[in-house]
Copies of this chain bind each other. A is one copy, B any other.
Amino acid sequence: MKLRQKMILKRLEPDLLRINQALSGHLATHVHLISQVWDHIRISGGKRIRPLLFILAARMCGAKEDRLPEVSTIFEYLHAATLLHDDVVDAATVRRGHSSANTIWGNQAVILVGDFLLSKALSIAVATKNIRVMEVLAQTTTFMAEGEVLQLVNTGRVDMTEAEYFEVIIRKTAKLMAAACQIGALMGGAAPALEQAMAEFGLNLGITFQLVDDILDFTGDPQEMGKPVCNDLKEGKITLPFIHVLGQATPAEQDHLRRLVKESDVTALARELLPLLDRYGSIAYARQKAQHYTLAARQNLAVFPDSSEKTLFLEITDYLYHRTA
């Protein structure tokens, strides 16, 4: 796994370099606090998956190279804006293994810098002078904001359904990846059918990505993940393995599980819940769903002729499905 990751990263390195260059150079604000917060987020890392998806999609669809790194920053700025507002909402103290921005600069600054990054992303989109790019982006941000509100409303709701779960992850994660791929296709002037295929690829990849994330919250190595097992549940985030186990468990077990979530004690959750997830095949169930979406994503690529970008897309899809952190 590690080797495969290294090999993919090796080939993505030149683009990653360009993305990171664009991210460090294009914020263009004279308000020092904004640059400070942004530099903190930027340096804290992140895989830059969204900008990479955009660049690969654009290149696969024949876009000119010159403005791609700059335009790709749209997706990292939007992602960062969401994380900043999320951290306030979750009262998070850690993000990517570093102190979260809100603990350093306070919620106020973090909300406003989030607003700035969102506006900045839209400014860069406007500069493409492509109406379709802006349409897709405006729809995406509206759709995402609804997803964030839904997630908030669903916090701690142990009776959340599988359909509600999928609506949230599509809105809060998959849609932005879909937009990155679709806008890449638009920058390459792709035909509508290919543009649509790219959007669907991004969506299916994003769903896989979030499903795996939610599974790793139970199965991942806390060290490698930088957070304790069952951390999502502790924060009241109900995810698919839990929804599944609750549907399978005996009434007595159900009551017990509901109480555990209410008490939000990660140690007790890990001790009591993990064996039940195992007994009822709930992790296997979630992985099967993830596999379904990963296959759908691969399928979406079938309409594209072979290319090195397509190969990379397939490998990234595979990697995101198999990753362990």
Q: Are A141 and B119 in contact (CB under 8 A)?
A: yes
Closest to A84 in B: B111
Name the contact of A115 in the complex, choosing from B32, B139, B148 (C-beta under 8 A). Answer: B148
Which B residues are in CB contact (< 8 Å) with A139? Answer: 123
| In the assembled complex, A190 has its CB within 8 A of some CB on chain B | no
Interface size on A, residues (CB 8 A): 40
A:109-159 near B, CB below 8 Å? 109, 111-116, 118-120, 122-123, 125-126, 129, 131, 134-135, 138-139, 141-142, 144-146, 148-150, 152-153
Name the contact of A89 in the complex, choosing from B34, B111, B150 (C-beta under 8 A). Answer: B111
A93-123 vs B, CB cutoff 8 Å, 1 = contact: the mask equals 0000000000000011101111110111011
Residue numbers of A with Cβ under 8 A of B are 29, 31-34, 85, 88-89, 107-109, 111-116, 118-120, 122-123, 125-126, 129, 131, 134-135, 138-139, 141-142, 144-146, 148-150, 152-153
Given A89-B108, A109-B149, A112-B149, 7 additional A-B pairs, CB 8 A: A33-B153, A88-B111, A89-B112, A108-B152, A109-B152, A115-B148, A119-B142
